[in-house]
Each structure stands twice: as C-alpha cells, then as structure tokens.
Structure 1
Amino acid sequence: MKKNLLLYILLVFLIVVNGFFLFNYLGSSDKIENRNRSNGPADFIVKELNFDGDQMLEFERVNREHHHKMRRISRNIKQLKDALFNRISDVSLNENSIDSITTLIGEKEKEKDMEVFYHFKDIQELCNDKQKEKLKKIINDALHKRGKKEQRPPLRNGNGEHRPPPPKH
C-alpha cells in the first residue's frame, strides 16, 4: 500500500509540474509573439511619421473610428454579395434585381474608397509639414506597389494578338 501511495503522490506531482511548465511555456510564447507582432499599416505609419504623444493619441482615435466604419461597410458588402449569389440557383433571373444589387455593391465599394481617402486626410491633419511630405510619399509608394501587383502580362495567341484563355470544360 505504501508503494502505491508513493507512486500516486509522485504521479500527481509530475502532472502538476508538467501542467505548470506547459502553461508558462505556451503562455509566455504567446505574450512574446503578441508583443513582437505589429498592427500592420498603422504601426508602420506611426513609426515612419514619428508621432509625438498627442499625435499618437489622436491617431489611435482616428484609426479606431476608421476600422469601425470599414468593418461596417465590409459587412454590408458581404451581405449584398451573399444576396446576389444566393440568386445563382434561381430558375428565372430577374435582371433588374441583379442590377440593383450590383449597383448597391458598387456604391458600398465607393463608400469604402472614400472612407480610406478621408482616413488618410484625417491622418494628414495630425501631421506637421515634414510629416505631411513623408505621408504623401508613403501613400504614393503604396499605390504604385499595389498597381504593380495587380498588373498581369497579357495572354497572346500564336500571332502575337491578345486572346482570352480557353474555356475549361
């Protein structure tokens, strides 16, 4: 009986120690990982523009509002696209309904682009003259890189003419 009791105590002790080790090991790496992870563009802008304390507080407020608006617009776009593609299996298509939904999607995309524009305008309002120039360069660089990513080489047939890809059956 004493041998078994000693084994049970040792087993409980090892389980507790292993649990403590796993909790500290896994918990610590998550904290370190989160500390080293940046918030993407916002952190980049703050770092590049070297905001002071007051600018930082105002930037965080502006950025928070921007993200709330963008999430709302994106949810609306998703709902509209769901409504559009839910009609894909309809036996009879109502062209007016499809046109109406795609028009609404286009308006929401416009609203999204305008929100991004005014967000950068708000950030520019926070900046001094030197920071404004730096922000302008950051935006221009981002726009030009984005455009390059989206460009694709044209497809050509044997005669050098542009052609669409063949349909897949």
Structure 2
Amino acid sequence: MNKIKVLTISVIALVILNLTMIVFFMIIKPKEFRDRRNGPRKMIIEKLHFDTKQQAEFEILVENNIDKVKTFDKQIQQTKENLYTQLSQTNVDVKTKDSLINVLADLQKQIETARFNHFKKIRKICNTPEQKEDFKELTIELSKMFSHRKFPPENSNSKK
C-alpha cells in the first residue's frame, strides 16, 4: 500500500469516528441525562402507582420543593463564599467564622426539614392502602437516596 491509500483510509476512519461521536453526544447522551434527572420522580410515580390526578399533585409538590431547595442552595453557596474569603485575611475573625458555619448548619437543617416535609406531603397523596404500604417500602429507598455521599470516601491508606 502506498502512502496516499494509507492517508485516505486514515482520514475516512477519522471522519467516521467523529461523526459517531457527534451522534453519540447529541442524541444518546442527553437522553441518558434526562432520564437520570427525572429518575426519582419516575420511580416514585411507578412505585406508588399514582393515577393521573395524583401525578399532577405530585408534580406540583416536586416543583415547589425544588424551588425551596434551590433557594437554600443559593444561600449556602453565598455563605460558603463569605466563609472562605475569611481565609484571605491575615487574622481570621473567629466569631465571624463560627457564625458563618452556624448559618451553614442551619441552612442544611432547613433543607433536610423541607425534604422531610415534602415526603410527608407525598404520603398524603397516597389514597389506597396499597399505596400507603408501597410508600413505607419507598422510605427505605429514600433514606439510601438522600444519605449518599457526594464525594468518594478518602483512601484509608492516604497520609493525613
């Protein structure tokens, strides 16, 4: 094979790979992310066998909860920024640092309270004894879902 044939085959192969990647990232990946985001909603609706009316009520509850938690998340972000800017000062004001950490703790407490109340409201949507029993089973999964760590645990062999 001469150099021109090798280069031609290489260029064609690269074009095919690039087109494949474009199709993958434009069509397949966004669908995967949509499913992941709506996964808990879909799971709850399916597990509790909500009818159309219950699904509408549930969607309203979810949107209200999302708005509430987003508000807390914004406050947490701003408070963390204020906290960590304290590090740029030569002498960190201990009272300010402690106050900001207490604010963060209170905001996290409010998020957990909002989530807990949100699921109490979901339980009220359940009409049938079967749905109420399914909700009890769902609480086990919810506890695992909301207790997961966002970061992998540190390697126990690492130096401290």
Q: Taking structure 1 as the reference length, what is the TM-score of the superposition? A: 0.66
Matched position secondary structure for 1:51: coil
Q: Determine which structure has greater relative contact order: mean sequence separation of CA pairs < 8 Å that are 6+ residues apart, divided by chain length.
A: 2
Unaligned runs of 5+ in 1: 1-24, 157-164
Q: Does 1:126 align with 2:125?
A: yes
Give 4+ residue runs of structure 1 displaced > 4 Å after superposition. 144-156
State the AA in 1 paired with 2:70: R
| Distance across 1 between alignment mates of 2:69 and 2:145 | 22
| Distance across 1 between alignment mates of 2:143 and 2:85 | 34
| Distance across 2 between alignment mates of 1:72 and 1:146 | 18
| Distance across 1 between alignment mates of 2:79 and 2:108 | 11
Q: Tell me how many residue pairs correspond in the alignment.
A: 133
CA RMSD in angstroms comes to: 3.3
| Distance across 1 between alignment mates of 2:50 and 2:104 | 36
1:41/1:68 Cα in 2 relative to 1: closer, same or farther (>3 Å)? same
Q: Taking structure 2 as the reference length, what is the TM-score of the superposition? A: 0.70
How far the C-alpha of 1:43 sits from its partner, in A, is 1.1
- For residues 136-169 of structure 1, the C-alpha deviation after alignment (integer angstroms, 9 at most, x for no partner) is 211213324765879969959xxxxxxxx533xx
Matched position secondary structure for 2:91: coil
How far the C-alpha of 1:89 sits from its partner, in A, is 1.6
Q: Does 1:52 align with 2:51?
A: yes
| Distance across 2 between alignment mates of 1:110 and 1:93 | 26
Unaligned runs of 5+ in 2: 1-22
